[in-house]
Amino acid sequence: MFFVKDYGLAVFFCVITMLCWGSWGNTQKLAGRNWRYELFYWDYVLGVLLLSILAGLTLGSFGAEGRSFLPDLRQADWRYIGSAFAGGVVFNAANLLLSAAISIAGMSVAFPVGIGLALILGVVVNHLGDPHGDPVLLFSGVALIAIAILMNAFAYKLKENGNRKVPMKGIVLAVVCGVLMAFFYRFVAASMDMNFTAPAAGKLTPYSAFFIFALGIFLSTFIFNTIAMKKPVSGKPLPLSAYFRGGVPIHFVGLLGGGIWGIGNVLNLIAAGKAGPAISYGLGQGATLVAALWGILIWKEFKGAPRISHALNIGMFVVFLAGLALLIKAGA
């Protein structure tokens, strides 16, 4: 199977993760004009599952080093399968809340609040589970990112004072999402042996862990998303038959969103073997910066905001980049 042996390449993979995790939400935005997020989500989770299978049968099966995808699944211990599966269920609950928050509050708010909070708590949880890197640099980077999140939140508050009422429901959903999402990665990391060259018997490699994780997402969607359709956070309840009214292009957009997120996830799990779970997860969750850029520059979510809001957002990007730089240095 393919895995990285160089820290620089691991960091590069985490940057790709950041771009993917910060950009998949644009597909929801594109579909959301005429397509509710609950309907979009069925295709999104299918896209994640299909990408996990593709990655396992290609990158996870090539080469002589490590344990290939299918043999790894056959030898896996049920407790580690359960851990990766639980990670998928927890992530799914969090991600549905994030999707709802994006619909209500917009990307430039939902991502900084939800994913930013997940970053802070997640780095702490993953570092405690598998200490790796300089803790002073690691948590200094997290502190800077926390400041950046507060700057963006304040910029949004100032913007809303001059326009419409703050969508508090969206902010609350983003906070709950962040708390849940902080723990999903730990479940997945605990199922893997970070020595990808000679993984311990019973434990999973990145590709098999991703597949089981994606399976947990897919199966739990039949519970979580069915509830979301019957009791939506906004709009009228939806019948399941509404999904089948969508055309091929709109279903493809959802599959694309899941595929984009899945590419980021598999690269992040591969990078964790060299960078460690806390740093790999922390760098990947820099997606907040990418998503905020999309929301501000492309979707014009701060159009008409006072100048101080724009100044705060510029400051947020500078502080955020400094925090990410410290995270990279922590593992060097």
Name, of 44-53, 136-145, 165-174, the range with top average pLDDT: 44-53
Q: What is the CA radius of gyration of the chain?
A: 19
**Rounded to whole angstroms, how far apart are CA atoms 37 and 257?**
12
- For the segment 165-213, what is each residue's pLDDT rounded down to a tens digit? 657 888 888 889 999 999 999 999 999 999 999 999 999 999 999 999 9
Q: Residue ranges per domain, the chain? A: 7-134+163-286
| 214-240 mean pLDDT | 93
**Rounded to whole angstroms, how far apart are CA atoms 305 and 8?**
39
CA dihedral 301, 18, 87, 30 (to 10 degrees): 40
pLDDT at 226 over 60: yes
Indicate the DSSP class of residue 301: T
- For the segment 72-86, what is each residue's pLDDT rounded down to a tens digit? 999 999 999 999 999
pLDDT computed for residue 331 by the predictor? 87
pLDDT computed for residue 162 by the predictor? 52
How many Cβ atoms from other residues are within 10 Å of residue 312's Cβ? 23
pLDDT computed for residue 46 by the predictor? 98
- For the segment 263-317, what is each residue's pLDDT rounded down to a tens digit? 999 999 999 999 999 999 988 888 877 887 888 888 887 888 888 988 998 998 9
Q: What is the mean pLDDT of the chain?
A: 90
Helix H or strand E segment including 179: helix 168-191
Confidence of residue 161 (pLDDT cuts 50, 70, 90): low
Query: Do the Cβ atoms of 11 and 283 come closer than 8 Å?
Result: yes
**Rounded to whole angstroms, how far apart are CA atoms 209 and 60?**
11
| 104-132 mean pLDDT | 81
232 or 234, higher pLDDT? 232
